[in-house]
Structure 1
Amino acid sequence: MDKIAFLGLGHMGAAMARRLLDTDHPLTVWNRTAAKTEPFTAGGATAAASPADAVRDADVVITMLADPPALFAVADEIVPALRPGARWAEMSTIGPDAVRELAGRLPEGVTLVDAPVAGSTDKAEAGELKILAGGDVSSVEPVLSRFGTVTHVGALGSGAALKVVVNVSLLGAVALVAEGLALGDALGLPEEVVRRTLESSAIGGAVPRAFAEDLHFDMALARKDAELATGTADLPVVSAIRQQYADAADRPDTAHEDIARIVPYIRERKS
């Protein structure tokens, strides 16, 4: 069985890596905060002291990191340690430019696939994520399918591009629900009536996410994703949405809360 190295055990990464514990794949894990590896070693995985140690013998490398700077810091350590024939599935939300830059750093014989995911921590725990894959995914698809359904998007970088579209659309929909509720407040409408009516409207799918209590999509990561989008195209609406999440990410009480926290934040600001 392929030896797997999984780097990055944040909210999403940990939920995904747990899906590999009950397989026959030898699993090595690494995280900058080493204590986060302890539940995995208790489950049979090996904890690596450094990113390079994690990937040295790996057939498949999976990275699930916060942003491009975090990815490139790890890449600086692991690229020299990758063995010929290794396959790297980059699953972070970093945008297509970062994927292409990463590909340019790799030695001959190492294959890179961009495979970010759509879905939150609940879907990750259930193995029901949508994996948006760019490049030749065939050699890692059996491993990626442990996390959910793999969709072949196109050439290398296309999965990362589509992920930015998906995330920014989600962020916009949640913010729009928040402003709809804020408008209802200003007009003196009962919250329950507004919420129930929005649920049956064209943006109804975003309402449950706007009120989710057991999911985690970090506010600071939301700002990062919106910045990836506005750095690519002229998007006036997304720019306004980005500012809302940026303001919330700058506040100590909401900086690392789930994006659902944007709803009371926006309503408080509009009242």
Structure 2
Amino acid sequence: MEHIAFLGLGHMGTPMARQLLSAGHPLTVWNRTAERAAPLVTEGARQAAGPAEAVRDADVVITMLADPDALDAVARAAAAALRPGTHWIEMSTVGPDAVRRLAAQLPTGVTLIDAPVMGSTDKAATGTLGILAGGDATGVEHVLARLGTVTRTGPLGSGAALKLVLNSAVISGIAVVAEALRLADALGLDGDTARAALAKGPLSGVVARAFAEDVHFEATLAVKDLDLAAKTAQLPVIEAALEHYRRVAAPGEDISEAAARIRTN
């Protein structure tokens, strides 16, 4: 069983790391806020003091971090400690430019795969995520399969690019649903009736996520994702959704709470 270093133990990273630990992989974990590692340490993981210590003996390194700046910082700290033959699986939502920067920092003999995920905390906890794998994932596909269903997307960076496309569509769609319900309110329609009608149409999945409970995708991360998209191409609709989320997103809150504020404010 490969020795895995898992860096980033947020709402998604912790259940993903737990899946690998329960599968029997020796696991070293690191998180900028060290206390978040405590539950996994209790379950058998080893906690590292920093990124370099975490990756030093790893066969596979997995990063699940908040944004490109966090990934850049971890790469700077860890790159020199990597061994030839190591596979680095980058699973954050950071866009293809950040993946290319990471590739440029890695030493010869380290294989990089970009493999961001589709799905929220519920799917992370059950190992049923959708995984978008760019680059040569042959050596680690069995590791990724413990976290969900793997879709090969093409060359390095293509997984990160497709994740940005999919997230932009879903996040913007949630804002559209919120505005549609605001329109229903303005027209004097019963909110539950309007919601049920929307849920029966082509936006059914987006409606479900706009009202989902017991899952978590932080609204401030939605801002980050739409901002990455808006910097890549001219996207007026996505830019409008971005301004909505910038106005209402609060740290620690799920995107559904931001959608509720778009509807009412």
Which secondary structure state, in structure 2, belongs to the residue aligned with residue 152 of structure 1?
A: strand
Q: Which residue of 1 aligns with 2:253?
A: 257
- Whether contact under 8 Å (2:30, 2:47) holds in the other structure is yes
**1:26 matched to which residue of 2?**
26
Distance 2:23 2:186 in 1: 53
Return the alpha-carbon distance in structure 2 between the equivalents of residues 191 and 238 of structure 1: 25
SS of corresponding position for 1:205: helix
* Structure 2 Cα separation of the partners of residues 7 and 107 of structure 1: 18
Give distance in 2, aligned partners of 1:32 and 1:172: 30
- 2:75 alignment partner AA: A
Please tell me whether the aligned partners of residues 248 and 262 of structure 2 are also in contact (alpha carbons under 8 angstroms).
no
Q: Give the Å deviation of 1:262.
A: 2.1
For 2:259 and 2:40, the matched residues in 1 are separated by 35
TM-score between the two structures when normalised by the length of structure 1: 0.96
Superposed, 1:26-45 pairs within 5 Å as 26-45=26-45
Please give the per-residue CA displacement for 1:168-221, whole angstroms capped at 9, x wherever unaligned. Answer: 111011111101110001001001110111111121121111101211111111
Letter in 2 for 1:165: V
Does the 8 Å CA contact 1:79/1:105 hold for their aligned counterparts? yes
**CA deviation profile, 1:112-155 (whole Å, cap 9, x unmatched):** 00000011111111111010000000111111111100100000
- Which letter does structure 1 place at the counterpart of 2:137? V
- C-alpha contact 1:87 1:110 (8 A) present in aligned 2: yes
The corresponding residue for 2:104 is 104
TM-score of the aligned structures, taking structure 2 as reference length? 0.98
2:244 is equivalent to residue 244 of structure 1? yes
Q: What is the one-letter code of the residue matched to 2:207?
A: V
| Residue of structure 1 in register with 2:65 after alignment | 65
- Between the aligned partners of 1:131 and 1:83, the Cα distance in structure 2 is 25
Alignment partner of 1:266 is 2:262: yes
- Deviation, 1:90, is 0.3
Deviation digits for residues 10-59 of structure 1 (CA, Å, limit 9, x no counterpart): 00001111101212211000011111111111111101111110000000
8 Å Cα contact 1:248-1:255 kept in structure 2: no
Contact 1:178-1:262 at 8 Å conserved across structures = no
> Number of residue pairs matched?
265
Per the TM alignment, residue 9 of structure 1 is displaced from its structure 2 partner at its CA by 0.2
| C-alpha contact (below 8 Å) 1:129/1:149 kept by paired residues | yes
Pairwise mapping of residues 1-271 of structure 1 onto structure 2 (< 5 A)? 1-249=1-249, 254-269=250-265
CA–CA separation in structure 1 for the residues paired with 2:19 and 2:12: 11
CA distance in structure 2 between the partners assigned to 1:194 and 1:16 by the alignment: 36
Instruction: Extract unaligned runs of 5+ from structure 1.
Output: none
Looking at structure 2, the residues matched to 223 and 4 of structure 1 have their Cα atoms a distance apart, in angstroms, of 30
Q: Return the alpha-carbon distance in structure 2 between the equivalents of residues 173 and 107 of structure 1.
A: 40
Q: Is the 8 A contact 1:89 1:112 kept in 2?
A: yes
Aligned partners of 1:237, 1:146: CA distance in 2, in Å? 36
AA aligned to 1:115 is A
How many angstroms does 1:267 deviate by?
A: 1.8
Partner SS, residue 233 of structure 1: coil
CA distance in 2, matches of 1:107, 1:60: 14
Q: CA RMSD in A?
A: 0.8
Provide runs of 4+ in structure 1 moved above 4 Å.
none
Contact kept? 1:219, 1:245, Cα under 8 Å: yes
Amino acid at match of 2:262: I
What letter corresponds to residue 79 of structure 1 in structure 2?
A
1:220-259 per-position Cα deviation (integer Å, ceiling 9, x unaligned): 110000011011000000000011111123xxxx332111
How far residue 75 of structure 1 moved from its aligned partner, in angstroms, is 0.7
**SS of equivalent to 1:2:** coil
